[in-house]
Amino acid sequence: MWRDKARGDDGTMSVKRGVCKICGCTDRNACYTDEQGACWWIDEQHTICSHCYYGWNKEKMRNKNADDEQLERRKI
């Protein structure tokens, strides 16, 4: 799900059109909640989705951060 984001040579995340810079969702893999439905682009550059902008992705981001921490622990 987060594969559309890439790390640059300096280790920072690169931002590309059509990929949310916060959660990594895309047009083909949009965020979804029962209350809000599918996300939409907030900006003209299509780099931040409505769910991240309005904070509707809090649970998704908690799960992502936990997954990232587990991956980092396995590398050590």
**pLDDT tens digit string along 28-54?**
999 998 889 999 999 999 999 999 999
pTM, two decimals, is 0.62
Tallying the residues shown for the chain, one arrives at 76
Which residues in 28-38 are b (16+ Cβ under 10 Å) and which e? eebbeeeeeee
Q: What is the pLDDT of residue 2?
A: 42
Q: How far apart are CA 72 and CA 76, in angstroms?
A: 7
